[in-house]
Amino acid sequence: MATQQATPTATMQDSEAAILELARSEPELGQAAVARRLQEQGYRISPSGVRYIWQKHDLETTVKRLNALAADSTEGMEALTDSQRELLERNSVTARLLHPGGNGEKSTDEPLERSELIINAAAELFSTAGYDRTSIRDIASRVGLLPGSIYHHFPSKEELYIAVHREGFRRVLKRAKAAGEGISDPWERLRRACEVHVHGMTEGSPVDRITGTNLALIGNDDIQARIQPFRDEYEEVFRELIDALPMRPDVDRKLFRLTLLGSMNWVYLWFRPGQRTPAQIASAMLDMIRDGVAPVAPQAGTQGRGPGITHEGPL
């Protein structure tokens, strides 16, 4: 629909109506482009004036204008063109990546740096599609960038994959160390670290989830070798926690650690929300292992297999 030419006596109400009409007919236009278009038609309006009207009607972003256009139509999203729907989807994903929430990493609404934005998008695609089936073009499309912009920050897909894991292990390492601060009981310290691990695997960001997946699945020994130092640093936290536990002298603490971490790393395959919480899963896993290794004081007439578990008479 063509915008009506302004009359010499055009009022602010006329300008507002013209701005809103363009918001419906050409929602992709930015404030400067809208101002120029209306100035050519005789309206006295500046880019900041356009933005003021947009904000007044909650239309200051392309996403909001496209959503409003769909909401005002009986056809809903079908009222948008293919390119508009693609733009809306891309920008909606970018908005989620800018403010991922729930991962404990950002306490403000400050946007992420572009490299962090790329890492988050790459982690999401690596988690869902896998390393081999994810391309740099896919990642660039997810964040609304050209592939060349990705290469400006990361020279190859392999380097980006390494960066995703470096960031993932950095985050979970920080949380695991903080989880046990101020707790004297060694079993409780380990339990808190396990809860952090399982929570990241099941309800964390894509960067958190990919950290615990089996690296061998990508079938690339070179990449696995480069990621291994990050994993070793993280496993050192659990090694120290497990070394502090009271256990029978014959317990293989390394096997204990590998069994525990291996069990937790596969939770993401079978976890379903609405059943056990991540904390409950972590505690149950630890208890099942603990019951077999914790020292038990002999008691007359009983056989114990763990703290609080005794069996009267023959098994």
Report the SS3 class of residue 314: coil
Residues 171/208, Cβ–Cβ less than 8 Å:
yes
DSSP secondary structure letter of residue 215? G
Number of compact structural domains in the chain: 2
Residues 160/154, Cβ–Cβ less than 8 Å:
yes
Helix H segments across 41-104? 47-56, 62-72, 82-98
**pLDDT (tens digit, 9 = 90+) per residue, 46-103?**
888 888 888 888 888 887 888 888 888 888 778 888 777 776 665 554 454 444 444 4
pLDDT at 3: 46
Residues 60, 190: one domain? no
Alpha-carbon distances, residue 19 vs 43, 136, 241 (angstroms) = 10, 38, 62
Tell me what the mean pLDDT of segment 122-138 comes to.
Answer: 87
Residue 99 forms part of a structural domain? no
Residues 187, 272: one domain? yes
Residue 303 forms part of a structural domain? no
Return mean pLDDT, the chain: 77
Residue 304 forms part of a structural domain? no
Residues 65/23, Cβ–Cβ less than 8 Å:
yes
Least confident of 147-156, 159-168, 208-217, 234-243: 208-217
Report the SS3 class of residue 2: coil
Residue 101 forms part of a structural domain? no
Domain with 70 in it: 12-80
**pLDDT (tens digit, 9 = 90+) per residue, 264-284?**
888 877 888 777 888 888 888
Residues 121, 64: one domain? no
Q: What share of the chain is helix, strand, coil (3-state, %, to 5)?
A: 65, 5, 35
Residues 55, 131: one domain? no
Which token pair is 7?
């009359």
Residues 263, 162: one domain? yes
**Whether pLDDT at 314 is above 70:** no
**pLDDT (tens digit, 9 = 90+) per residue, 155-184?**
999 999 999 999 888 888 888 888 888 889
pTM to 2 decimal places? 0.56
Q: What does the alpha-carbon distance between residue 66 and residue 73 come to, in Å, rounded to a whole number?
A: 11
Nearest partner of 173 among 128, 124, 211, judged by Cα: 211
**pLDDT (tens digit, 9 = 90+) per residue, 291-311?**
876 666 655 544 444 443 333
pLDDT at 73: 82
| Total count of residues recorded for the chain | 315
* Domain of residue 212, CATH code: 1.10.357.10
Residue 55 forms part of a structural domain? yes
Nearest partner of 238 among 153, 173, 313, 152, judged by Cα: 173
